[in-house]
Amino acid sequence: MARLPRLVVPNQPHHIIQSGNDRQVVFRDAEDYAAFLGWLKEASRQFKVAVHAYVLMPNHLHLLVTPADEAGLGRMMQWIGRHYVPYFNGKYSRTGTLWQGRYRATVVDSEQYFLLCSRYIESHPARAGLVSSAEEYAWSSISHHLGVRPDPIITDHPVFWALGNTPFDREANYKALLDLGISQREADALTQATLKGWPLGSERFKEALAKQVSRRVTPAKRGRPRKMTDGEKTATSL
């Protein structure tokens, strides 16, 4: 069965995962991380994609973004790749692909999953054992959301602003949410939805989204159709 085109919905948050080929390291030193973030900042503005949260791990990355149109997200990711891959290959005297195929993306229900997705992204280094607490990791947007330092890459989403009337309130309430942690079930749901490209949200959200984009947004049922009983055949003929 042919794969459906990647679903991109303007003005809706999307969770992005991009991994190194064969899980190889794609950021080797501070210069690499900084170079990528510089191009992310430039590309997000050029292609009108608001970045709400990010983390750069040694061999992959996560983004939480909202594109202004259907084309901007793909153009942003392509533009960054065209700059970062030649930089990385030239610096480390390598050739060939750097990324594991296409980036993976899923549409996120902002009401139910935006803050969970943001926390999932920014707590990832701690869950992976790279740092003892997420705040210690230098290559994520967590410092912005905790008020440690503003991040020029980040555009705060209305859901984040709704956490409080002042920056202090928002930062404190977000910190409280971070301290709750992420369950393995929640992490798995976010990861699998993104890898498979199916929207992450309530049934009501998915139904509304399917009508909006006029296409299937949930997996098709597997197997042969169940045979109808005689009673069901009679009912369908009425």
> Radius of gyration over alpha carbons of the chain, in Å?
20
The hierarchical CATH code for the domain 14-202 is 3.30.70.1290
Q: What is the mean pLDDT of residues 80-88?
A: 97
Pairing assessment for the beta strands 104-107 and 60-67 based on DSSP bridges: unpaired
> What H or E segment, with its residue span, contains residue 213?
helix 203-213
Q: Where are the domains of the chain?
A: 14-202
- Distances from the Cα of 70 to the Cαs of 23, 29, 66, 201, in angstroms? 29, 34, 10, 20
What is the per-residue pLDDT across 87-146, written as a single tens digit (0 to 9) for each? 999 999 999 899 998 899 999 999 889 999 999 999 999 999 999 999 999 999 999 999
Query: pLDDT grade, residue 231 (50/70/90)?
Result: very low
Grouping H, G, I as helix, E, B as strand and the rest as coil, residue 98 is: coil
The answer, as to whether pTM is greater than 0.85, is yes
Residue 238 pLDDT > 50: no
User: Which of the two residues, 227 and 88, has the higher pLDDT score?
Assistant: 88
Q: What is the mean pLDDT of residues 64-85?
A: 96
**pLDDT number for residue 222:** 60
Q: What is the mean pLDDT of residues 74-86?
A: 97
What is the per-residue pLDDT across 6-41, written as a single tens digit (0 to 9) for each? 889 999 999 999 999 988 999 999 999 999 999 999
> What H or E segment, with its residue span, contains residue 6?
none
What is the per-residue pLDDT across 163-206, written as a single tens digit (0 to 9) for each? 999 999 999 999 999 999 998 899 888 888 888 888 888 888 88
